[in-house]
Amino acid sequence: MPHPLGTQPSKIIAVHLNYRCRAGERGRVPDHPSYFLKPPSSLSGTGDDLVRPRGCELMSFEGEIALVVGRRAHRVAPERGWEHIAWVTAANDAGAYDLRHADRGSNLRSKGADGFTPVGPRLLDARALDPAALRLRTWVNGEVVQDADTSTLLFPFGDLVADLSRLVTLEPGDVILTGTPAGASVVSPGDVVEVEVTGPDGHSTGRLRNTVTDAAHDLAEWGAMPRTDAALRADAWGAARPREPELDPALAEALRGVATATLSSQLRKRGLHHMTIDGVRPTDPTATMVGTAHTLRYLPLREDLFERFGGGMNAQKRAVEELRPGQVLVMDARRDPTAGTIGDILALRAKVRGAAGVVTDGALRDSAAVAGLGLPTYYAAEHPAVLGRRHVPWDTGVPIACGGALVQPGDILVGDADGVVVVPPDLAEQLVADSTEQEAQERFIAERVSAGEPIQGLYPLGPAWREAYATWRGTRP
């Protein structure tokens, strides 16, 4: 469907960061706006498909307010900037993160593909609008994923016009995409993205509606090809990363009644010999822990990268804020015990968010205070130094190594006084059944040993004792 602008603009200018909530997600607040260009050929309208190039997995949406220039703007003062805007409409600054490496900084291929800037469906007369009182909402498959108003902008619309027009003449019909709020994330073929801009008096652009599809052709290989890694996935998904599966409460309760020693034995019988997180101890040996893994990875300190990755809303803080009830925050600190990986404030925040526990193969800071929280915590050592002494908080929600064990997001972690065991979710129910039987046999054996029986043929349970065990078992709940 044609876009509603009527004419092809000479340029489309997009703002990188302009909402405080989005800046919080990104962990940085810019002093001045920064921009990139999108080609006019990227324009499309409501009803048009958002076509994900083949080989790409990180197709993103970003609901935005689009400004359409009505009068030529050259060296305009901020207080006069809004006078040069004729129309306001909804936009989706779509892109494919997989191609961002190809044009680092310019975003040409990742953001500029045909159809990657749908706008519409209606234009609102800017003269009838208060630019500081507009509301932007985005839906994915009918669920609201972005909701913000322009009172929270870092750089008001008039300031954007003024800033740009210092050096770039804005011509009638030019489009300014004014930034996206928190909640922008990844969509897949079949998903429907809708964006709407409304004013306090009921003015509405209507919903800009586009369906994500997969390209019907392969991407020719004579240019840069799609490329992803864990850091890029984390950046693309943002706060809306795919959720790790939730643990069934009945299964969690059953696992809580099984000792980690028994689980470890059963895992070894299945050929899984490296499922314990080694070198950690509990703050409270009397507590038990059961939950699904939410992972955080630290990399070795590099001072030039710590400034970029360690400040603001870094991966450590994001990991805590992403926690859902029943999850265990599991940290890969490369078994380095010489700097803290979490302290009392973030541990308290994890508890408030409903975390089932914390596991780190690094050091615990504020250890006495953390121990007093009542949050099951397993750690390798105590250390007073902050993480910046040894670590760069790098990414979350990725497979990690913790205490020599590979932990994937969604794995089940069970902890008691002996330590922590990693349980693959697809084996959990059978492990509970077999562990329950093993522990019943061990209780029977313990009773017979207490009564003076020798362990030969009794431990492990041999054929001579099977009938007696079956009788004993029949009298137990």
pLDDT in tens, 73-84: 999 999 999 999
Residue 249: is the preceding peptide bond cis (ω within 30°)? no
Domain ranges of the chain: 12-239, 249-423, 429-474
CATH of domain 12-239: 3.90.850.10
pLDDT for 104? 74
Instruction: Give the closest residue to 118 by CA, choosing from 187, 205, 210.
Output: 210
Instruction: Please give, one letter per residue, the 3-state secondary structure of the chain.
Output: CCCCCCCCCCCEEEECCCEHHHHHHHCCCCCCCCEEEECHHHEECCCCCEEECCCCCCEEECEEEEEEECCCECCCCHHHHHHHEEEEEEEECCEEHHHHHHHCCCCHHHHCCCCCEEEEEEEEEHHHCCCCCCEEEEEECCEEEEEEEHHHECCCHHHHHHHHHCCCCECCCCEEECCCCCCCEEECCCCEEEEEEECCCCCECCCEEEEEEECCCCCCCCCCCCCCCHHHHHHHHHHHCCCCCCCCHHHHHHHHCCCHHHHHHHHHHCCCCCCEECCCEECCCCCCEEEEEEEEEEEECCHHHHHHHCCCCCHHHHHHHHCCCCEEEEEECCCCCCCEEECHHHHHHHHHCCCCEEEECCEECCHHHHHCCCCCEEECEECCCCHHHCEEEEEECCCEEECCEEECCCCEEEEECCEEEEECHHHHHHHHHHHHHHHHHHHHHHHHHHCCCCCCCCCCCCHHHHHHHHHHHHCCC
pLDDT for 391? 96
Q: Which amino acid is at 24?
A: G
pLDDT in tens, 16-37: 999 988 887 777 788 899 999 9
Evaluate whether 297 touches 399 at the Cβ level (below 8 Å): no
For 139, list phi and psi in degrees, rounded to 5. Answer: -120, 145
pTM for this predicted structure:
0.56
Evaluate whether 365 touches 386 at the Cβ level (below 8 Å): yes
User: Alpha-carbon torsion 253, 254, 259, 263, what sign?
Assistant: negative
Evaluate whether 175 touches 70 at the Cβ level (below 8 Å): no
Residue ranges, the chain, pLDDT below 70 = 1-2, 230-231, 239-245, 477
pLDDT for 5? 78
Q: Topology of 249-423 in CATH? A: Glucose Oxidase; domain 1 (3.50.30)
Burial of 39 (0-12, 13-18, 19+ CB in 10 A): middle
For 282, list phi and psi in degrees, rounded to 5. Answer: -90, 150
Evaluate whether 127 touches 209 at the Cβ level (below 8 Å): no
Distance CA 275, CA 269 (A): 12
